[in-house]
Structures are given as structure tokens and as C-alpha cells.
Amino acid sequence: MSENFDVIVIGSGPAGYVAAIRAAQLGMSVACIEKWRSKDGRGINGGTCLNVGCIPSKALLDSSHRFHDTKKELAVHGISTSEVSIDIGAMMARKEKIVSQLTGGIGQLFKANGVTGLYGTGKLLANKQVEFTSHVGAISVLNGGHVILASGSLPIEIPMAPVDGSLIVDSTGALEIETVPRRLGVIGAGVIGLELGSVWARLGSEVVLLEALDEFLSIMDKGIARETLKIFTKQGLDIRLGARVVGTQINDGEVHVNYRTTEGSEHTEVFDKLIVCVGRRAYTTGLFADDSGIQLDERGTIPVNEQCETGVPGVYAVGDLVRGPMLAHKGSEEGVMVAERIAGHSAQLNYAIVPNVIYTHPEVASVGETEEQVKASGVPYNVGTFPFAASGRALAANDTDGMVKIIADANSDRVLGCHIVGPSAADLVQQVAIAMEFGSSSEDLGMTVFGHPTLSETVHEAALAVNGNAIHKANRKRG
């Protein structure tokens, strides 16, 4: 093994492995160090996203959605089914198969691009040297022309609900529950709570989400958050806002959860399983030596500029380890940007246009500014909305909950944001993200021909509605 590389990447999650591949494509010699091990002890790439995040959660969301649809939604189409049952073991095995197919695929991509995959722990030393400790304990020192830190994040633990891996689990444990809990508690009605809470609710659990804040999805566009809360409540998710968990006890195989409301009253709920998902924190344990020049900020992340450069020349940090939303695609694009900049290109990342999706059903998706942000900025704006209930395609699919909302600058008509709760919201919002990247106005979207009948027509109509020109709904009179 050569001990000199143009680029050394620590971490092979979506930020690290993408950076490694792109750097190799640009002609550099690249090593990517990964400490993750499979249950049977093999080194495994892909990080949180592929192993215990985006991919396994989406596999379970899709399986549980099919089960729920088959049970509850087919009769309206005239389809009758006899006993519908779910084999949790088979569902989990399918999830594992998808995970191993994708994690294995990264190894193949490394091979195809000439990236050296190293399995063990990386630690940044002074002068861009990296100490590599292999899984069998052999230590070597690698010299990097450039080093990219991409060690990701871990679930936040809270002392009042210590994860025991059995009755109280974090997001990773929640992907491995073996039987459908009768009563499932979830601390935190954020992205993970809603996605994984939905999985088990669809499979038959009574799900209660305890959320400390009084506001639901507080960083989202408020109109869309309100609509989303209505839809999830109608689905049977018991979402309690202003409910801060203050303690838990295990009694007779059950979890007793104490929470305090914003008004100050104390309550206890009893569950047979509890998921703790109260956010994630940067994973920096053992990542750098004291004399490496790297220091953490007050949030525990590695400070970087817009180009993901740390304060140490030639050392970069990307993904969940640094500021910004903890999203796989944000990390991947940072990885590409850094690799290209190391190669001398002038790559940039447009942080203002990073889509955000909650993969429930219906999906909740957004890009750009919320109405509240635009209002606060003082820019005059117009809003166009369109309900899925007025979409022929949504009606044909019996999937009419939700709406599209587009916000545009009142002077230039440039699209500033799009927020959707509804079927295929993730894919619909991406259309607007592309439009925004090209600086489109709502009129540009309105002049674009959309196929009929598609869910995309809701985006078209919302864009037309911005200036009071929607065809398939009554437009608000402008004064």
C-alpha cells in the first residue's frame, strides 16, 4: 500500500464516498478510510445513509405503505382482499438485502474509479498526515496532499431516556424492531419520528409522538406544517405538541414515560417500545489530534467556510460534520464541490436551493424560503397554492390530501420557495428546484407545458395561481 495520496477521505458516507469518487475521476490518487463494520465484522461503506438511515428507512416506509394500502385503500377501487398479513422477518430481510446491495456497490465503484478503500479508523494528525488503524489493530501513517473529513453524525442521547437497545431504542434500533409494538412511543416529532412512527403505525401500532415544542415542524413553512399536522392526525398519529419528556422508567417490560406540558402539567404514558429521535450531533470522537489545528465550535461541529475549508490549509470537512441541514444530498454535493476545488476547478454549492423531504405518505417537501422567511426579509411577495383535491390525477389515484404552495418575488416574479405536502411531493419539489436554479419566474413555470393528467400539473397550477391565473380553481382576487 502506498502511504502517499493526493487526497485522503475519512468516512465513506454519502459525503465521503462521493468526494473520493469525484477526486479519483479528476485524476487524483485517493484513499477513503471507513471504520463501520457489518455484524459479521467486515468493513462496510456507505455510512449512516446506506446502513441505518435514508435507505433502510425508505425500504420500511415502502413495505409498510404497501401493506397499509392493501389493507385499507383497495376496496375503493373495487378490489377485495382476504386476510392480509405482514411477515416482519421478511420485510426486514428485504431491507437488509437492499442495504447490502448498495453498500457493496460502493466497493465496486471504488474499484472502478481506482479509489483505495481502507477499513479501520482514521485520525487527522498535524501536517495533513493521517493515522490509520486497521480493524485488526495495525497502525500506519498516511501522507495526504489534501484531507477531507467526512465522519458524519450520531443520534443525540438524552439522560431521561437512555437507549437500552431493547425497550428504548434510537433510530438504528427502530429499524430492527422484530414484532409490531402494540403501543409505540416516540420522543421527538421531527423527521425521524414522523417517518419511523408512520412505519409502525401502518403496521398496526398505536403511535404517540411527544414533541417538546408547541409548534409542529417549526422550521417549515407554517401553512404547509398546519396542513401536514391535520393530515397526520387524520391518519391516526397521536402528535402531542408542547410535551417535553422529563423521565422514563422500565416496569414489567414496559416503558413509562413522564412528560411535562408547556402549561406545566405532568403526565405519564406507558408504551411497550420507545423510540428516541431528538436530533443528531456531529461524530468527532478520535477524529483529529490536538495538534492537528482543528477545533470544534460551540455546537460541536467543525467550522468551515462556504467552500468547506477548515482553518487548516488543505483540510476540508463535509456532510453532517459541518453546519447546514443533515441531509445526504447536501453532504454529497459538498463532497463533489471540495473534490473539484482541490482539482483546481471553481465549483460552488447553492445552499439556498437544497430540497428537504419527509418521506411519509403523503410526502412533505420544500425548497427555498418559507413564507415566514420571505416576509421577514421585507421582500414583497405573492403566493400561489393548489390543492391535490383539484387534481384529476390525484383523484384517479384516490390520493388527494395536501397542497402545493409557491412563493414568488412580487416585483421580479422570481420563484423564492416551494412547499408541498402531497403525493410524490419529493419529486414535484425537485421540478421547482431546477426552475429556481435557472432563476425562473412563476410565469416561466406557468408557460411550461405540463403533461396531462399528471401530479405535476399541481405545480403548474400553483405557479399560475401566484399571479391569479390558475385555471382549475377560483383565484384569489388581488386588490
Catalytic residues: 452
Q: Out of 59, 148, 225, 326, name the contact with ligand NAD by CB under 6 A.
A: 326
Interatomic CA distance for residues 424 and 297, integer angstroms: 38
Dig out the grid coordinates for 258 from the structure.
413522564
Q: Which of 328, 187, 357 is nearest to 174 (CA)?
A: 187
Residue 279 interface partner, choices ligand FAD, ligand NAD, none, CB cut-off 5-8 Å depending on type = ligand NAD
Interatomic CA distance for residues 99 and 88, integer angstroms: 17
Contact region for ligand NAD (CB under 6 A) — 128-136, 273-281, 343-351, 451-459? 273-281
Interatomic CA distance for residues 247 and 46, integer angstroms: 34
Closer residue to ligand FAD (CB): 319 or 368: 319
N-terminal to C-terminal alpha carbon distance within the chain: 72
Q: Is 198 in the site for ligand FAD (CB under 6 A)?
A: no
What separation in angstroms does the CA of 8 have from each of 1, 212, 319?
A: 13, 41, 16
Q: Is 5 in the site for ligand NAD (CB under 6 A)?
A: no
Location of C-alpha cell 463535509? 318
Interatomic CA distance for residues 462 and 139, integer angstroms: 59
Q: Is 192 in the site for ligand NAD (CB under 6 A)?
A: yes
Q: Out of 47, 190, 197, 422, name the contact with ligand FAD by CB under 6 A.
A: 47
Q: Out of 187, 225, 337, 408, name the contact with ligand NAD by CB under 6 A.
A: 187
Q: Out of 8, 11, 382, 391, name the contact with ligand FAD by CB under 6 A.
A: 11
CB of 268 to ligand FAD, least distance (A): 27
User: Which residues are paired to 183 by β-bridges?
Assistant: 206
- The beta-strand segments (E) located in 172-285 are 183-187, 206-210, 238-240, 243-251, 254-261, 266-271, 273-276, 280-282
Rg (CA), the chain: 24
Q: Is 16 in the site for ligand FAD (CB under 6 A)?
A: yes
Closer residue to ligand NAD (CB): 278 or 394: 278
Contact region for ligand FAD (CB under 6 A) — 146-154, 266-274, 371-379, 415-423? 146-154
Dig out the grid coordinates for 146 from the structure.
489534501
CB of 329 to ligand NAD, least distance (A): 9
Q: Is 278 in the site for ligand NAD (CB under 6 A)?
A: yes
Q: Is 301 in the site for ligand FAD (CB under 6 A)?
A: no
Residue 245 interface partner, choices ligand FAD, ligand NAD, none, CB cut-off 5-8 Å depending on type = ligand NAD
Express the helix, strand and coil content of the chain in percent, nearest 5 each: 35, 25, 40
Binding characters for ligand NAD, 340-359, by CB under 6 A (x = yes): -----------------xxx
Q: Is 195 in the site for ligand NAD (CB under 6 A)?
A: yes
In the complex, the residues that contact ligand NAD under the rule CB under 6 A are 158, 187-193, 195, 210-213, 244-245, 277-280, 325-327, 357-359
